[in-house]
Amino acid sequence: MPLAQAVAILQKHCRIIKNVQVLYSEQSPLSHDLILNLTQDGIKLLFDAFNQRLKVIEVYDLTKVKLKYCGVHFNSQAIAPTIEQIDQSFGATHPGVYNSAEQLFHLNFRGLSFSFQLDSWTEAPKYEPNFAHGLASLQIPHGATVKRMYIYSGNSLQDTKAPGMPLSCFLGNVYAESVDVLRDGTGPSGLRLRLLAAGCGPGLLADAKMRVFERSVYFGDSCQDVLSMLGSPHKVFYKSEDKMKIHSPSPHKQVPSKCNDYFFNYFTLGVDILFDANTHKVKKFVLHTNYPGHYNFNIYHRCEFKIPLAIKKENADGQTETCTTYSKWDNIQELLGHPVEKPVVLHRSSSPNNTNPFGSTFCFGLQRMIFEVMQNNHIASVTLYGPPKPGAHLRTAELP
């Protein structure tokens, strides 16, 4: 399940499930799992740092929950989760493995692990593995109770990965597996999206199958073209003001528009598309990386993009390097072989009186793209611009 769906479920039940914490690494968000900690229920939901899908469910305080398997309780106020109870409820498995560093025994089933704590420090040496006799694992002492329980996909908790998204999580939405930025000689020209959907046809959800298909959208495409390719947006947002106008060469000459440009927001794709108010054609794409610690975190799903960057080097002409969702800005500057111009500092807040707890971000312009960079050097979003508008004489020539 994607992170955004899990958060939506917890928010819906906010009167019952309270005091939920979001835990992440501010400096290196990809090196640690993203965790939702349900403090009152003793449960942690661990999400993969890259694809942001649920990977492990950890129950770390069994006194706060009742647990049953196949309709029968194995943990409640009346039933203690002892080794005997687990053995009775779940049946036979391999012998427990003792971890001397944690002072814990681990009992592993497929997709399920229990950690037992020894009653006293003096018991520990007796259960050290006796490698001389070829015994790498041992019996767990009688009466030991479960300290933690882990639910995951696969055979091993250490090697587990978040599985693909279940069909029950699509809920009529389309998701992007990957987004490739297309470019011509001058800069970006459009997007090629590899999309995933649960086949919507007559019949039960059990009959539904995952459908994978590709769609491309380009600068200059009409509003109808985009609707045909990607379907209806989740939201349409009309721009009220352009805060970057002051950085244009002659802001005072720009006549205020009578109608506003508008965005199509595709939250599950991690993409925004801006249309011109007069021509109703695509003039900008925005790709979102959804890193924790950014002002827009959890509004969009992560966009897994690949952007070819033109590298001008002495020995190679027209060489390109790829920038991805996980590239760091320092590495991009190194690839380019030169520092980019000074950034514009962007400070978001919901109103003039509110402060943004995550601080400012920095916007760097490069090859008709604007990279919004967070303070930890990760990319928060990339805005792609279409080619400059042709001269007035060209436009009038096109008129019938």
Per-residue pLDDT, 392: 36
Residue 159, Ramachandran bin (φ over 0: left; ψ between -120 and 50: alpha; else beta): alpha
Cα–Cα distance, 198 to 222 (Å, whole number): 27
Cα–Cα distance, 6 to 17 (Å, whole number): 12
Residue 319: name the closest of 337, 331, 305 by CA.
Answer: 337
Which residues of the chain carry a pLDDT beneath 70?
A: 119-139, 200-208, 241-257, 313-318, 351, 353, 390-400
Per-residue pLDDT, 41: 96
pLDDT per position as a tens digit, 368-392: 999 999 999 999 999 999 987 764 3
Cα–Cα distance, 171 to 206 (Å, whole number): 13
Contact 4, 298 (CB under 8 A): yes
Contact 64, 40 (CB under 8 A): yes
Which residues lie closer than 8 Å to 331 by C-beta, 6 or more apart?
A: none
Contact 269, 175 (CB under 8 A): yes
Cα–Cα distance, 195 to 213 (Å, whole number): 5
Which residue blocks in the chain are alpha helix, DSSP H? Answer: 3-12, 83-90, 223-230, 329-336, 392-398
Per-residue pLDDT, 79: 94
Q: What three-state secondary structure class fits 127?
A: helix
DSSP-derived secondary structure letter, 138? B
DSSP-derived secondary structure letter, 326? T
Token couple for 154: 């696969």
Per-residue pLDDT, 358: 86
Residue 26: name the closest of 395, 357, 333 by CA.
Answer: 357
Residue 53: name the closest of 25, 34, 78, 74 by CA.
Answer: 34
Token couple for 60: 């770390």
Residue 103, Ramachandran bin (φ over 0: left; ψ between -120 and 50: alpha; else beta): left
Report how far apart, in Å, the C-alpha atoms of 375 and of each of 247, 294, 351 are.
22, 10, 22
Cα–Cα distance, 106 to 85 (Å, whole number): 15
Place of tokens 């978040």: 162
| pTM for the structure as a whole | 0.87
Place of tokens 């991690």: 270
Residue 273: name the closest of 358, 188, 207, 373 by CA.
Answer: 188
Per-residue pLDDT, 313: 63
